[in-house]
Amino acid sequence: MAIVLYHHPFSRAANTVWMLEEVGVEYELKFVDIMAGDQKKEDVTKLNPMGKLPLLVDGATVVTESAAIGLYLAVMSLSCAMSQQVNRIV
């Protein structure tokens, strides 16, 4: 399953999209219209009770706040890169 990023262009999701592009993972953008208050609807608040964006879902893992998402993606990317290096050595 691909990563899903709940976003709106006027939120702090822009740097998260940039990070997703940098690490090169597959992802799906799910637009949330914050101007219409859609971030307060149940499909968002069940994942983040504060109803804030950006919001990243990776399988059963939910990460909120752009800095935390960036760290999560960096660690995930590093783990994949290290795994590939180990496989080359073995």
- Active-site positions? 11
Rounded to whole angstroms, the Cα distance separating 12 from 14 reads: 6
Strand 55-58 to strand 3-7: parallel, antiparallel, or no bridges (unpaired)?
antiparallel
